[in-house]
């Protein structure tokens, strides 16, 4: 097949995308997960109970460049989503899509709510989506490659992408299994499994993943405990309904018909038979998370190739001018949903708007400087002698990360997720400033509430109203306070 060239016009799309993400990056504040990743990056390891090493490592690099700077921290995410859009346009090109199809693909993927959200926050989900899309595009490129050497190079690249992805999030393994099954189930691609390349790619991925697997083994596989917590939270009927709903509107409700068209076309078009494992992988992974319990955004990296396929179909059937108007219209209809997870509105306006009902994540970016100042005020009210031996113990990693980010003058500890493996408070530490525990008397003696956390914007997030206690001592070993949660 004589494939078209990559259109330079895609560059204008990603330039606009990058400019918008860069402009929004300083607002409102860090997300609780970003605070956690920065803290983890200060304690580099081959793994953590809730993710491998990559996202904290990138946070550490950003912190070394500009300590606690949101713009620099979020540059990684911006670049990741620019890369995802470029890969989506490349998939459209591989399918035979010319300039119009490539630009439509890039535009729809770029403005998607999940793409903009992932491009705004430093998150494992951001780099996971990029890894999934990269793996799919590279595998597709390997499946259509003509020469033995070229095929091997693309399989090797796919293995490297998979290995890096596995060092960011373990869920990549489900994609790899689905791709393998997809290749086996599609007659046109089955013969690839008789060559060494897919297996060498798998071994490459496994080699890159091994350091994290050894860390998990050494620490008794904490990822399994966290997976069970996710399954319990999202495995019920309401969780499954939420999963399907979120997946269907992940990019935008108005973009959903495009990727559905693409999914159907990948199954039906004979000339796309070599790309069909991508569609099979989508169905298998989506079905797996529906049964096992998962979050809709787990599928984010699967959608760009489907949008690309749908865009090629649309571009073939409509005039370029009509396609341009359609793309512009869909983009304009998508943008009003951005405030759900992007700091488009003033924080106080957003906090009192209907957007907060659509998702709670952005609420978790508001108020951290104030919360840290309120805890700092409690610490400063202690006597100088007390401050020399005092510690802070928080209920969750967001609180602990914020207190490290903004600084409160005494050591910070928590029992939540990765924090449980880091520095424990010294035995006999006193007093203990306890943040976020509704019932501290279960774990501490001599507790008295001295303040509560509040933000000026009126954001009803997880921290607003959380109590601050000053306690004399812990009544049980610190290990009893450790907990995992998603």
Q: Is pLDDT at 237 greater than 80 in this prediction?
A: no
Structural tokens at position 242: 């939420």
Residues 6+ apart with CB under 8 A from 7: 89, 93, 98, 99, 102, 103
Q: Among 108-122, 310-324, 415-429, which is the least confidently predicted range?
A: 415-429
Q: Is pLDDT at 442 greater than 60 in this prediction?
A: yes
**Residue 413: which of 395, 388, 440, 431 has the closest Cα?**
395
Q: Which pLDDT score, from 0 to 100, does residue 230 have? A: 74
Taking only the tens place, the pLDDT of each residue in 150-207 is 999 999 999 999 999 999 999 999 999 999 999 999 999 999 999 999 999 999 999 9
User: CA torsion, points 86, 88, 93, 94, in degrees to nearest 10?
Assistant: 120
Task: State how far the Cα of 99 lies from the Cα of 315, in Å rounded to an integer.
Answer: 9
Structural tokens at position 22: 């860069």
Point out which residues pair with 468 in neighbouring strands. 435, 451
Positive/negative CA dihedral, 61, 65, 67, 72: negative
Residue range 413-440: mean pLDDT, rounded: 91
Report residue 470's pLDDT band, with 50, 70 and 90 as the boundaries.
Answer: very high
Task: State how far the Cα of 477 lies from the Cα of 420, in Å rounded to an integer.
Answer: 12
Taking only the tens place, the pLDDT of each residue in 204-221 is 999 999 999 999 999 999
More confident residue, 42 or 240: 42
Q: Is pLDDT at 243 greater than 70 in this prediction?
A: yes
Strands (E), 192-259: none
Are the CB atoms for 285 and 299 separated by under 8 Å? yes
Q: Is pLDDT at 462 greater than 70 in this prediction?
A: yes
Backbone phi and psi for residue 387, each to the nearest 5 degrees, phi listed first: -60, -30
Q: Which pLDDT score, from 0 to 100, does residue 468 have? A: 98
Q: Is pLDDT at 485 greater than 70 in this prediction?
A: no
Q: Is pLDDT at 476 greater than 90 in this prediction?
A: no
Point out which residues pair with 474 in neighbouring strands. 444
How far is C-alpha 226 from the chain's CA centre?
16
Can you give the residue ranges of every domain in the chain? 9-347, 367-481
DSSP string of 145-193, one letter each residue: --SHHHHHHHHHHHHHHHHHHHTT-TTHHHHHHHHHHHHHHSTTTGGGG
Task: Give Cα separations from 284 to 95, 180, 277 (angstroms).
Answer: 22, 11, 10
Report residue 235's pLDDT band, with 50, 70 and 90 as the boundaries.
Answer: low
Q: Which pLDDT score, from 0 to 100, does residue 370 have? A: 98
Classify residue 5 as exposed, middle or buried by CB count within 10 Å of its CB (0-12, 13-18, 19+). Answer: exposed
How far is C-alpha 214 from the chain's CA centre?
23
Taking only the tens place, the pLDDT of each residue in 288-297 is 999 988 899 9
Please state whether 367 falls in left (phi above 0), alpha (psi between -120 and 50) or beta.
left
Are the CB atoms for 120 and 25 separated by under 8 Å? yes
Burial letters 123-135, b for 16+ CB under 10 A, else e: bbbbbbbbbbbbb
Classify residue 387 as exposed, middle or buried by CB count within 10 Å of its CB (0-12, 13-18, 19+). Answer: middle
Task: State how far the Cα of 88 lies from the Cα of 83, in Å rounded to an integer.
Answer: 9
Task: State how far the Cα of 213 lies from the Cα of 157, in Å rounded to an integer.
Answer: 21
Sheet holding 432-435, edge to edge: 412-414, 391-394, 432-435, 467-471, 448-452
CB atoms closer than 10 angstroms to residue 215: 20
CB atoms closer than 10 angstroms to residue 44: 11
Structural tokens at position 108: 């729809």
Q: Which of 103-107, 227-231, 414-418 has the highest mean pLDDT?
A: 103-107
Q: Which pLDDT score, from 0 to 100, does residue 225 have? A: 82
More confident residue, 118 or 476: 118
Residue range 121-134: mean pLDDT, rounded: 98
CB atoms closer than 10 angstroms to residue 349: 12
């Amino acid at each position: 097949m004589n494939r078209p060239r990559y259109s330079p016009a895609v560059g204008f799309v990603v330039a606009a995308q990058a400019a918008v993400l860069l402009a929004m990056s300083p607002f409102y504040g860090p997300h609780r997960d970003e605070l956690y990743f920065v803290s983890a990056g200060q304690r580099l390891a081959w793994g953590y109970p809730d993710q491998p090493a990559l996202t904290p490592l990138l946070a550490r690099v950003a912190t070394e460049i500009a300590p606690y700077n949101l713009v620099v921290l979020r540059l990684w995410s911006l670049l990741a989503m620019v890369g995802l859009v470029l890969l989506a346009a490349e998939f459209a090109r591989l399918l035979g899509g010319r300039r119009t199809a490539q630009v439509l693909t890039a535009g729809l993927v770029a403005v998607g709510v999940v793409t903009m959200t992932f491009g705004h926050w430093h998150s494992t989900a951001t780099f996971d989506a990029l890894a999934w899309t990269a793996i799919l595009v590279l595998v597709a490129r390997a499946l259509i490659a003509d020469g033995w050497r070229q095929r091997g190079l693309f399989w090797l690249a796919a293995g490297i992408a998979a290995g890096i992805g596995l060092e960011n999030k373990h869920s990549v393994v489900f994609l790899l299994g689905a791709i393998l099954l997809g290749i086996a189930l599609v007659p046109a691609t089955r013969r690839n499994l008789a060559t060494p390349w897919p297996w060498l790619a798998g071994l490459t991925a496994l080699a890159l993943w091994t350091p994290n697997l050894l860390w998990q083994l050494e620490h008794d596989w904490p990822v399994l405990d966290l997976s069970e917590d996710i399954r319990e939270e999202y495995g019920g009927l309401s969780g499954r309904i939420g999963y399907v709903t979120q997946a269907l509107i992940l990019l935008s409700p108005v973009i959903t018909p495009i990727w559905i068209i693409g999914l159907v076309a990948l199954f039906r078009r004979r000339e796309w038979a070599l790309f069909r494992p991508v569609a099979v992988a989508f169905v298998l992974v989506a079905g797996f998370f529906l049964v096992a319990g998962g979050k809709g955004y787990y599928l984010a990296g699967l959608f760009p190739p489907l949008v690309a396929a749908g865009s090629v179909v649309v571009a073939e059937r409509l005039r370029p001018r009509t396609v341009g108007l359609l793309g512009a219209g869909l983009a304009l209809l998508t943008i009003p949903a951005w405030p759900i997870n992007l700091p488009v509105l003033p924080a106080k306006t957003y906090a009192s708007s209907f957007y907060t009902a659509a998702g709670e994540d952005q609420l978790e970016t508001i108020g951290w400087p104030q919360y840290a100042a309120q805890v700092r005020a409690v610490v400063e009210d202690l006597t100088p002698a007390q401050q020399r031996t005092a510690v802070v113990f928080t209920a969750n990693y967001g609180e602990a990360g914020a207190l490290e980010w903004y600084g409160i003058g005494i050591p910070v500890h928590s029992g939540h997720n990765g924090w449980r493996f880091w520095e424990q408070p010294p035995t006999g530490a006193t007093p203990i400033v306890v943040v976020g525990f509704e019932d501290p008397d279960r774990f501490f003696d001599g507790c008295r509430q001295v303040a509560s956390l509040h933000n000026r914007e009126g954001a009803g997030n997880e921290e607003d109203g959380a109590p601050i206690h000053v306690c004399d001592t812990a009544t049980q070993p610190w290990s009893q306070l450790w907990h995992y949660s998603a």
